[in-house]
Amino acid sequence: MMSILPPLCRRFAVGSAGSTLGVLSIALVLIAGALGSVLADTRKPARARPEAEVEPAAPAAVVRDHAARQPALPVDAADAGADDDEEADPSTVSEALLKRRIQRAQDNSELDEEERQEVVDQYKRALEHLSEEAEAAEKTESLTVRAEKAPARLNEAKSQLESSRPDPASVVKPSASLNELRTELSQAEADLDESIRRRDELQAEVDHRPTRRMEDAARETELEELLEEIEDQLERKPDQDASKELAEAQTLVLRARRQAAAAELQQVRQEILTDDLTTDLLLVERDLAVIQAEYAQKLADAWMLAVNSGRRGEIELQAREASRQAAQAAPELKSIAERTVELTAQRQTLVERIERVQQQVESADTQTTELTEEFDKVAERARRAGFTETVAIVLRRRRDNLPDVARLRECAREREHETAQLSLQLAELEDDRRTLADLGSAVSRRKRELAAQSHAEGGTIDEAALR
């Protein structure tokens, strides 16, 4: 474009010398050439900057090293008079720092006894705040672990909830001895108590969660306001009347309290999050605990029936054996055999009474559970709606259906009297059982007595009759 401009200029100049039109034409040509050059430059791609000229990004290690060399931000007023044994992080109050400050205050001869004690007390208060911080941090960690394990525990609980359980009657071993049955019964009753405790604990947690959620929300607001208040106190100038040592101690107390409040705030927020993440888990575990408690009750009942059946079978066997021995016993041993038959009959009576008392206890437990559930329902209704006429009608109807309290007290007194009699009779039977535990020894002793008596009378003993 630029190469053709001079000829054009000469051509227009020659054809239009001295004329105004020629001058204007030349000017227009020059302007058009300049605009063309500008447009051509704008269409050219920008020259890429050589890679050598591009500044490389700083490595992360360099950035961290550079940040580490930067001056620390200003800290609280207590750091102005801090000694050289401060922690690497001057914004954090540690137990070691406070203990060194306590020792420094105790060694400071410029403080009088009263001021020294006040300074030491301030540092001890700060130590208490650090203990609160550690406790809150531990709870936060525990809540975090619970939240992390919630999905796996939920799957496991659902699997247990859907799994089948064997028939309680099939669990009992028919060939088990009475002692083995008693051992299994004791274990089943212990498992039942644990299942009931677990069920009640989970149900209480389900009932308390909504209330705790509101409490946590209120506590979160309180802690946020407390942290703002502490920050305002830290920004104020120390009390002019207080000594430097006391002012530093008071500031450290505020900083330790700030750490404790921040830790508790984190704990409260983590508790809210954990409760949200474990809601389904809690409900499934509660349902599983209810099923396990019911199954444990059935197992305990099955073992109880087996023990009672085994006890009755053992007594019947002993009764038959005692009757056989009494019929075949020699006249000299008739008293021992008859006493054995009598003890066996008494034991059978005791077994029947024990089973009857067990049934009464089960009935009383069932009635107590029903009454407790009804009371809780009525109390909840009264709490929500107040003591209205409707609630009063419900209460009167429940009162009419309640058992007679006087009759229950009379039954309780009868059971106490019966229990005392059974205890006394049991003690007597135990004494007799120990006396007759070794029937062979009793027979041998009786034979010696008869032999001595016969020898004194000059007679002999019929051994066959004794056998």
Please check whether residues 288 and 259 belong to one and the same domain: yes
Does residue 65 lie within any of the structural domains?
Answer: no
Residue 337 forms part of a structural domain: no
- Mapping DSSP to helix (H, G, I), strand (E, B) and coil, where does residue 11 land? helix
375 pLDDT band, cuts 50/70/90, is confident
Q: Write down the H helix ranges in 108-163.
A: 113-162
Residue 80 DSSP symbol:
G
| Residue 34 scores a pLDDT above 60 | no
188 and 166, same domain (yes or no): yes
Residues 96 and 17 in one domain: no
Helices and strands (H, E) in the chain, number of each type: 14, 0
Q: What is the pLDDT of residue 54?
A: 38
3-state helix, strand, coil in the chain (%, to 5): 85, 0, 15
Give a three-class secondary structure readout of 349-413: HHHHHHHHHHHHHHHHHHHHHHHHHHHHHHHHHHHHHCCCHHHHHHHHHHHHHCCCHHHHHHHHH
Greatest C-alpha distance within the chain: 190
Does the structure show a pLDDT above 50 at 56?
no
Averaged pLDDT of the chain: 75
Is residue 446 located within the same domain as residue 427? no
What is the model's pLDDT at position 8?
A: 42
Tokens at 339, concatenated? 């006493």
- Distance between CA atoms of 258 and 75, rounded to whole angstroms? 14
Q: Are 147 and 168 members of one domain?
A: yes
Confidence of residue 379 (pLDDT cuts 50, 70, 90): confident
Q: How far apart are CA 393 and CA 188, in angstroms?
A: 42
Collapsing DSSP to helix, strand or coil, 54 comes out as: coil
Answer yes or no: is 70 within a domain.
no
Residue 339: inside a domain, yes or no?
no
Q: Does 47 fall in a domain?
A: no
On whether residue 151 sits in a domain, the answer given is: yes
Cα–Cα distances (Å) from 209 to 220, 278, 391, in that order, read 16, 11, 27
Look at residue 441 in the predicted model and tell me its pLDDT: 64
Contact 337, 325 (CB under 8 A): yes
- Give the residue-averaged pLDDT of 317-345: 68
* Same domain membership, residue 280 and residue 149: yes
Asked, for residue 322, whether it belongs to a domain, the answer is no
Same domain, 150 and 280: yes
Q: Which pLDDT does position 330 carry in this prediction? A: 63
User: CA–CA separation, 105 vs 118, rounded Å?
Assistant: 10
Q: What is the percent of the chain where pLDDT is above 70?
A: 61
Q: For residue 389, tell me if it sits in a domain.
A: yes
Range of the domain at 450: 438-467
Count of domains observed in the chain: 4
- 27 and 151 share a domain? no
Give the Cα separation of 252 and 248 in Å (integer).
6
Same domain membership, residue 248 and residue 167: yes
Residue with tokens 């071993």: 173
User: How does 215-240 read in b/e, with b if 16+ C-beta sit within 10 Å?
Assistant: ebeebbeebeebeeebeeeeeeebee
For residues 351 and 261, which has the higher predicted lDDT (pLDDT)?
A: 261
Same domain, 228 and 163: yes
Structure confidence at residue 397 as a pLDDT band (50, 70, 90)? confident
Q: Let me know whether 99 and 196 are in one domain.
A: yes
Same domain, 279 and 398: no
